[in-house]
Structure 1
Amino acid sequence: MYPTKTLKEKIRLFMIILIPILITQVSMYAMNFFDTIMSGKAGAADLAGVAIGSSLWVPVQMGVVGILMAMSPIVAQLTGANAHEKIPFTVQQGMYLSIALGIIVTIIGAFLIDPILSMMELEERVRHVAKYYIITIGLGMIPFFVYNLLRSYIDGLGHTRTSMVIILISLPLNILFNYIFIFGKLGLPAFGGIGAGIASALTFIINLILSILIVHHIRPFREHRIFKTFLKPSLKEWFDQLRIGIPIGFSIFFEVSIFAAVTLMLSVYNTNTIAAHQAAINFASFLYMIPLSIAMALTIAVGFEVGAKRIHDAKVYSYLGITSGIIIAFIAGSILYLFDDQVARLYSENPEVIALTKQFLFYAIFFQFADAFGAPIQGTLRGYKDVNITFWMSLVSYWLIGLPSGWLLANYTNLDAFGYWLGLIIGLSAGAITLFGRMQYLQRKLIRKYS
């Protein structure tokens, strides 16, 4: 990161930060995609087991990763304030915290996995695959959390290209591991869907090893001497990081888990409707990688400028990010509108599923517009370390506005299953508008304070 003077310089720096983040996020999304596709080749029960396991694992995973994302604005603000001497202690404590969170999640999961799966009416093979997929992927949980902590530190310094390189190395390895463990190659037994969990755990470990080697040996990270001398754990620093991280983590958890809730509510509809919903959600999730990446880039850029008390520059970055999101939303919306049939056919050859998917994709156009406006605002507020309002608005917009209004529209209008999507659009839009007001209030307040 470095100070910029003109809008042209800001656009250039923002793109330097954004593009590697986008490539990283798409690559991480591709890992889950290949887990699902390759497990499906092993059999329907394996595909179902991995789908169930992922639906339980991903919300928890993303929630904890959200907590650890607090490191990005913390490091960005320390860098902007030229307080580099505080970074090693902060990162080390974040590593301790990520290990502690991993242990807590592991213990809770050990007690809950069987009761939760027993509540579901699953075939024995599906339950077996789901259980051991979660167990095997859980073996890489602590390395995964520590890696994401180090990634947030690396990104917070503005070196997002480094994170991109790590994930581009590990993605093909993940596909190779899937091939070996799912289908039983190199003399190993065919684990089916469980093999996807083994492959992911190994990939998480490799990501951590690569991150440690880079941080320890490559400039500018080695100048912080993160792994040179380890200090004692500091509960005070843990709580300071959790004060920022917990609202971020729960915001992401509410966002991810709402889709699982909608899928559960859609279980009363026929198989073709559920399949079409899943196809449209899958593609919408892919498109969401763009505003999510913009949000992560804004957290870094805004945090850096706020740390240096350049509040006007932070404001320029925030509107640059929001404008970028809206422009990309227009492009993505046009693609969805013009090529809805081609997109739908990527997921199914069933004419009814294709027709229903195209209808869901029409709602996805407005869905991703709301995301494109709201996600960059969330990223901006995280850069300001103003995270509590994001937490509450995620709770209110998704669970108190979006889901109830979706249920009402689905059950008391002729929209049926599409009512849930319209409800989510309403909730997302309400949250984005409210957060925009919060961002403007905060910017005016800081400009008055430092002008």
Structure 2
Amino acid sequence: MYHAESWSDKTKLLLKILWPILVTQLGLYAMNLTDTIMSGWVSKQDLAGVAIGSSLWMPIITGINGILLAVTPIVSQMVGSGKQSGIARFISQALYVSFMVAMAVVIAGFFLFKPVIGLMGLEDKVAHIAYYYLVALLFGIVPLFASNVLRYFFDAQGFTRISMFITLLAVPFNILLNYVFIFGKFGVPAYGGIGSGYATAITYWLILLISIVMTFKMPAVRSYRLFIEWAAPSLKAWKELFTIGIPIGLSIFFEVSIFSVVTLLMGMLFDTGTIASHQIALSFSSLVFMVPLSISMALTIVVGYSVGSGKMKAARQYSLLGVGGGIGLMGLAAFVLFFLREPIAYLYTQDSEVAVLAAQFLIFAIFYQISDAAQASLLGVLRGYKDVQMPFLIAFVSYWIVGLPSGYLLSAYTSMGAYGFWAGIIIGLTFAAAGFMLRLMRIQKNIRLGAAPAVVEAGA
């Protein structure tokens, strides 16, 4: 990491940090995408079962894992302020927390997955696939959370290529395992959609193993002596991590869960074909969202580094670059998606009825791309300032008080039907983008007026 002075140098630095993050995110998402696509090749029931399972799983690995995302702004500000000596101790504490959180998810999952799925009134086969897909994934939750701590440790210092390298090694391995476990190859039974859960869990262990090896092999991080010298557990460090991480995790949960709840409601209100087509549209639009999400993560790094160094003007400039770039790119993506929506739908399924419905859902996905890009990039900037509590409240109101009820009303009381839920998502995302923008303007105004950094960190 270094301090870029001119606009062109800042653009180059942001892109240098961004593109490996984007490759990493696309790689990680490819694993989920592979689960969905390859399960769909087995049957419509397998596709729907994995879709339901993914809808329950995504809030877990994104929302709860959001607690660990606090590693990025904390470490980036430590680097910017020249406090690298404390980073190794902090990462030890984050790894302790990752294990505790993972075990809590495992225990909760074994008790809650079956009752929740049972409330949905699914076909027996779909419910069976959804439940055991989730159980299979639980075997990989510990390495998933631990490897994410290491990823955020690498990324916060600008070493985003390390995470990219690890992911590029893992994705082909995941595809091979999906082929083996879903279709039953090399003497392994054919598990169908459930097999994709086992394949992904094993891949999480591989990612953790490679991440640990990289801490010993890469000169840039070897000096921290991770996994050689362990700090004793510290409640003070855990408190700092939870103080920043829990609001981040809840903000992510409120956003991701609205998509999951919509899928669950559709499972109760509509047939299997509608669920499958909705999931296809959601799966692909989520893939496109990896672009603004990556921009968001890169912004947290460069803004956090600038704030830690006291360079507030640079933080504002990175905000303009990232938010403007994200909105522009997603506008272009929406234009392309409009013309390619039917071919995209047929990538997921050979069922023409499901594909036609999915193409119609993708039309609605086009309209929320820009709002989604705006809210994601703005949230990344706010995290760079360590401002997390007010964004958490904005996210809750936007998605659960405004977006989800609007979608339900439009679906239940208008002719829009299932498409009404997508209209509600658009409303919620737009409301969130506006709220985050106002929050960022206030923070930057306070800084220009001489507000102390501690006040900003506290969420003033």
TM-score (normalizing by structure 2): 0.93
SS of equivalent to 1:220? helix
Secondary structure in 2 matching 1:224: coil
Q: Could you tell me which residue of structure 2 aligns to residue 198 of structure 1? A: 198
| 187-196 vs 368-377, greater mean Cα deviation | 187-196
Larger mean CA deviation between 277-286 and 316-325 belongs to 277-286
Structure-2 residue corresponding to 1:247? 247
Aligned to 2:33: 33
* 1:51-450 mapped onto 2 (5 Å cutoff): 51-267=51-267, 268-269=269-270, 272-347=273-348, 353-449=354-450
Amino acid at match of 1:423: G
Question: For 1:69, what is the secondary structure of its paired residue?
Answer: helix
Instruction: Give the AA of the match of 1:163.
Output: S
Shift of 1:197: 1.9
Q: Aligned equivalents of 2:419 and 2:198: distance in 1?
A: 37
Counterpart of 2:132, as a letter, is Y
The one-letter code of the counterpart of 1:419 is G
Q: Distance in 2 between matches of 1:245 and 1:180?
A: 37
Aligned-residue offset at 1:111: 1.9
**Offset, 1:259:** 1.1
> What displacement does 1:139 show?
1.3
Q: Give the distance between the partners of 1:124 and 1:356, measured in 2 at CA.
A: 24
Contact 1:311 1:450 in 2 (8 A): no
Residues 202-211 or 335-344, more deviating: 335-344
Does structure 1 conserve the Cα–Cα contact (< 8 Å) formed by 2:55 and 2:261? no
CA distance, structure 2, for counterparts of residue 177 and residue 42 of structure 1? 15
Q: What is the distance in 2 between the residues matched to 1:192 and 1:171?
A: 19
**AA aligned opposite 1:7:** W
Task: Output one character per residue of 1:272-320: Cα deviation in whole Å (capped at 9) or x when no partner.
Answer: 5444433322221111111111100000010000000100001100110
Bigger shift: 115-124 or 386-395? 115-124
Partners of 1:61 and 1:305 in 2: CA distance: 29
Distance 1:234-1:134 versus aligned 2 partners, 3 A rule: same
Structure 2 residues not aligned, in runs of 5+: 453-460
**CA deviation profile, 1:156-192 (whole Å, cap 9, x unmatched):** 0111111011000000001111122222323333333
Question: Deviation digits for residues 313-333 of structure 1, max 9, x if unmatched?
Answer: 011001100111111022112
Aligned equivalents of 1:129, 1:448: Cα separation in 2: 57
Is contact 2:55-2:263 (8 Å) kept? no
Three-state SS of the structure 2 residue aligned to 1:230 is: coil
Residue 354 of structure 1: how far off its partner (Å): 4.9
Stretch of structure 1 that moved more, 343-352 or 180-189: 343-352
Indicate the larger mover: 257-266 or 413-422.
413-422
Distance of aligned partners of 1:343 and 1:47 in 2 relative to their CA distance in 1, 3 Å threshold: closer
Amino acid corresponding to residue 416 of structure 1 in structure 2: G
Deviates most, 352-361 or 330-339: 352-361
CA pair 161-346 structure 1, distance change in 2 beyond 3 A = same
Q: 1:329 and 1:39, CA in 2 relative to 1: closer, same or farther beyond 3 A?
A: closer
The separation in 2 between residues aligned to 1:46 and 1:413, in whole angstroms, is 31
SS of 1:426's equivalent?
helix
Cα separation, partners in 2 of 1:44 and 1:348, compared to 1, 3 Å: closer
Residue 456 (structure 2) aligns with? none
- Counterpart CA distance in 2 for 1:27 and 1:126 is 27
Deviates more, 1:151-160 or 1:248-257: 248-257
> How many residues are aligned here?
451
For 2:427 and 2:72, locate their aligned partners in 1 and report how far apart those are by CA, in whole Å. 30
Q: 1:125 to 1:360 in 2, by over 3 A?
A: closer
Structure 1: gaps spanning 5 or more residues: none
Q: Kindly tell me: are residues 203 and 98 of structure 1, through their superposed partners in 2, closer, same or farther at Cα, counting changes over 3 Å?
A: same
**Distance change >3 Å, CA 35–CA 305, structure 1 → 2:** same
From the superposition, tell whether residues 192 and 414 of structure 1 become closer, same or farther in structure 2 (CA, over 3 Å): closer
For residue 223 of structure 2, give the secondary structure of its aligned residue in structure 1.
Answer: helix
What are the superposed Cα offsets for residues 379-426 of structure 1, whole Å, 9 maximum, x if unpaired? Answer: 000110101112111111011001112222333333333322222212
> Partners in 2 of 1:188 and 1:314 — Cα distance?
53
Q: Secondary structure at the match of 1:228?
A: coil
Residues 182 and 193, structure 2, Cα contact 8 Å, conserved in 1: yes
In structure 2, relative to structure 1, the CA distance for the partners of 1:444 and 1:283 (3 Å cut) is: same
Secondary structure, aligned partner of 2:227: coil
| 8 Å contact kept, 1:64–1:145 | no
Q: CA deviation at 1:270?
A: 5.1
Give me the whole-angstrom Cα distance separating, in 1, the residues matched to 2:129 and 2:351. Answer: 27
Quote the offset at 1:137 in angstroms: 1.7
Amino acid corresponding to residue 192 of structure 1 in structure 2: G
Q: TM-score, normalised by structure 1?
A: 0.94
Contact 2:299 2:381 in 1 (8 A): yes
Corresponding residue SS for 1:277: helix
SS of residue matched to 2:158: coil
CA distance in 1 between counterparts of 2:136 and 2:358 reads 33
After superposition, the C-alpha distances for 1:142-168 in whole angstroms (9 at most, x for unaligned) are 111000011011110111111011000
Q: Is the 8 A contact 1:62 1:252 kept in 2?
A: yes
